[in-house]
Structure 1
Amino acid sequence: MRLTGQPAVKVYRGFGTPTQLTIQGHVLALSPLPQRHYQQRLWTNMVDMLRLFMVRPMAQVEVRLQGTNVMATTDVDGFFRFDWQPAAPLLPGWHPVQVDLIRGSAKEAVVTGTGDVYVPYATQYGFISDIDDTFLISHSATKLKRLRVLLFRNAHGRMPFDGVVRHYQALSLAGTNADQPNPFFYVSSSEWNLYDYLSAFLQKHQLPVGVLMLSQLKRFSQLRQTGQNKHLTKLDRIARILAAYPHHRFVLLGDDTQADPHIYASVVKHHATQIRCVYLRQVGPAKKAEVLATIAPIEAAGIPCCYFKHSAEAMQHSSTIGLI
């Protein structure tokens, strides 16, 4: 099954400002080894997906941000978070970080994990995007169909919606250039188990490199509940991003399969001055009337909202309002 029983420190892409950074990760006693090959075989894909949920977190252990005296203790899920103020301000861009699992009275490092932290450039815009059925075809409205796609197609076998990659690439350069791209945050109800899987998908399809902010780790027995987390935790994560970057104006991108319309309406209600526009993909016709009623207050607040079926419509809207 390519699992390891050796302790592992997973460090996810963090984010922050030149003087305040957030770094997150998990410490696991049992975890899958990194995937090396992608084969379009149903059985292989299923085993590879099952491996991602064969985890055993290490609770109440200490970790230290390497090169500092900043320490944290993992929670019951093995999750840790540092809110770190570097000694000297960091330049915009990606910066490597290392986190040590430490033990004993001497606080010696027993295993180290490596990740990156992002300091955005002083661009005008930032982008917060959902993942499933926003750009990744996932069938989230139907639990069994979503699970079947997740189990039997690997990250390289999954597909984005037609035209969405072109739209996102254009948005990453809205009002700026390739040397100073706009920051992207992918905020999803998918679990941290899928971090590497989703990262591989983003890389495969050349979507903008960004920070993934996912939901609570799940164990193997909870696999059927994947993607069914309490969606209101997304609101908390979005609020943290907005608070970190008060000088950026954000574009929200989501879909109508789950709670995005309600979450984004709430974001606009409390943070209207920071929101440039809202995009919602119409995945099916069933919720159209409900969604239109939900987004009416967004438009009443003077914030453009595009409820679209095809990415070409969204891209045309971005051009019409002068975003790209």
Structure 2
Amino acid sequence: METLQLPFIHKQKKSLKDRIKYHFLSWLHLTNEPVLKVYRGFGNESTLIIHGSMFRRSALSRKKYRPSIWLNFFGLIRLFLVRPYPHATIRVYAGGQIAETQTDLDGYFRVEVSIAQPLLPGWHVVRAQCIAKEGRSETVLAEGEGTVLLPHSAAFACISDIDDTFLVSHSAALFKRLKVLITRNAHTRQPFEGVVEHYKMLAEANRTDGATNPFFYVSSSEWNLYDYILEFSKKNGLPEGVYLLSPLKQLAEVLKTGQGKHMTKFMRIVRILEAYPDQHFILLGDDTQEDPTIYASVVKHFQSRIRCIYIRQVHQKNQPKTREILSQIEAMGVPCCYFAHSAEARRHSVESGLTAL
């Protein structure tokens, strides 16, 4: 990886008031120290897409996952007590290049880094710093490290929703969704039966080089839940992939968690397809919200590049509408599988030649 020298971080001495506040927040498992989080990014032979969030206040990483309702409740609330750092200068070191950008009002940043030489397929380390500039002098307020995926050549890549697609979430019922969020954690939440096996089949399909078909997880869940979802995915053995979530929410908006703008989800999917113009894709979602409608729009724009669409049956009320939309998609030449159990989806993948037994 690149050998660029990163500037030294200057740390200011804390006052007594600051130290007391620091210990109080630590007791709550929060920190008021500037924190720069770099999410998993993706790229191709010419461009790396690096993104992340800068925080004035953020939750400390959770180390223990005990089956306690109160611990899970406070664990969730902490994720929505974050305070973003808007208009911060972010300097990114990736692929032997340096790029700068600014965070938006939510503390989020996204930058495309042009690289002179293509990188090998696989995961590559990238680094970022938050820079405070005063005249000609600079102070590094925080730094973070992440990874960026350059996919191996593959027969297809997968783009999957998260809530109620592989993670049981009750997205169509607000109070059920909040109940499962509050009473369970990343280790006690459950995936749908058989879904992990299906995703592993897709990831490993037709591969002889030891690499896996790439996975992109695109969701209306907020960046507040990034570490939560990452831990759940790791705990349950889902294929490693890139996660693209929705803007941060504050505590007052916790009742609206998972209710992101679906048009932005469509645009995130489009960015993935545009990054890999020669790649075919499989789309996976569910019928609780707008996945069928979003995927229909994707097919209209990228018809020849969508191999198949999988939609999980979760919300009975939406089934007639979903079947109508999927019929329209199939009329455009893209096969669909509308299934109640993952065993049906696995069988479809085998019978359609996407995967082997």
Distance 2:322 2:209 in 1: 35
Once the 2 structures are TM-superposed, how far is the Cα of residue 162 of structure 1 from its aligned partner? 0.5
Counterpart in the other structure of 1:143: 174
Residues 1:22 and 2:49 are matched in the alignment: yes
Please list every run of 5 or more consecutive structure 2 residues that lacks an aligned counterpart in the other structure.
Answer: 1-27
Once the 2 structures are TM-superposed, how far is the Cα of residue 178 of structure 1 from its aligned partner? 6.4
The alpha-carbon distance between structure 1 residues 295 and 69, as it changes in their structure 2 partners (threshold 3 A), is same
Counterpart in the other structure of 1:31: 58
Contact 1:52 1:194 in 2 (8 A): yes
Distance 1:158 1:287 in 2: 24
- The code of the aligned residue for 1:315 comes to R
Contact 2:44 2:275 in 1 (8 A): yes
Residues 1:121 and 2:152 are matched in the alignment: yes
Once the 2 structures are TM-superposed, how far is the Cα of residue 29 of structure 1 from its aligned partner? 0.4
Distance 2:34 2:80 in 1: 16
Residues 1:291 and 2:322 are matched in the alignment: yes
The alpha-carbon distance between structure 1 residues 196 and 317, as it changes in their structure 2 partners (threshold 3 A), is same
Once the 2 structures are TM-superposed, how far is the Cα of residue 123 of structure 1 from its aligned partner? 0.9
Contact 1:253 1:280 in 2 (8 A): yes
Once the 2 structures are TM-superposed, how far is the Cα of residue 269 of structure 1 from its aligned partner? 1.0
Residues 1:187 and 2:218 are matched in the alignment: yes
Once the 2 structures are TM-superposed, how far is the Cα of residue 69 of structure 1 from its aligned partner? 3.3
Counterpart in the other structure of 1:267: 298
Once the 2 structures are TM-superposed, how far is the Cα of residue 152 of structure 1 from its aligned partner? 1.3
Counterpart in the other structure of 2:188: 157
- The code of the aligned residue for 1:186 comes to Y
- The code of the aligned residue for 1:126 comes to A
Q: 5 Å matches for 1:201-280?
A: 201-280=232-311
Distance 1:270 1:18 in 2: 24
- The code of the aligned residue for 2:114 comes to Q
- The code of the aligned residue for 1:60 comes to H
TM-score by structure 2 length?
A: 0.89
2:342 to 293, 306, 311: 311
- The code of the aligned residue for 1:135 comes to F
Once the 2 structures are TM-superposed, how far is the Cα of residue 316 of structure 1 from its aligned partner? 0.3
Counterpart in the other structure of 1:13: 40
1:76 to 105, 108, 120: 105
Residues 79-101 of structure 1 deviation map (CA, whole Å, 9 limit, x = unaligned): 11110012321100000111001
Distance 2:120 2:162 in 1: 29
Contact 2:123 2:147 in 1 (8 A): yes
Residues 1:47 and 2:78 are matched in the alignment: no
Residues 57-83 of structure 1 deviation map (CA, whole Å, 9 limit, x = unaligned): 111110101364310011111111110
Distance 2:137 2:183 in 1: 47
Identity of paired residues, percent?
50
Once the 2 structures are TM-superposed, how far is the Cα of residue 177 of structure 1 from its aligned partner? 3.9
Residues 1:93 and 2:98 are matched in the alignment: no
Distance 1:175 1:123 in 2: 9
Residues 158-189 of structure 1 deviation map (CA, whole Å, 9 limit, x = unaligned): 00000000000000012224622111000000
Distance 1:110 1:260 in 2: 40
Contact 1:125 1:174 in 2 (8 A): no
Distance 1:69 1:160 in 2: 40
Residues 217-247 of structure 1 deviation map (CA, whole Å, 9 limit, x = unaligned): 0011111110111112111000000000111
Residues 106-137 of structure 1 deviation map (CA, whole Å, 9 limit, x = unaligned): 33423211100000001110000000000000
Distance 2:98 2:38 in 1: 18
Deviating above 4 A after TM superposition, structure 1's stretches of 4 or more consecutive aligned residues are none
Once the 2 structures are TM-superposed, how far is the Cα of residue 296 of structure 1 from its aligned partner? 1.1
Distance 2:164 2:313 in 1: 9
Distance 2:172 2:261 in 1: 15
Once the 2 structures are TM-superposed, how far is the Cα of residue 145 of structure 1 from its aligned partner? 0.7
The alpha-carbon distance between structure 1 residues 99 and 269, as it changes in their structure 2 partners (threshold 3 A), is same
SS in 2 for 1:286: helix
TM-score by structure 1 length?
A: 0.98
Distance 1:184 1:247 in 2: 16
Q: 5 Å matches for 1:161-172?
A: 161-172=192-203
SS in 1 for 2:316: coil
SS in 2 for 1:70: strand
Residues 1:57 and 2:88 are matched in the alignment: no
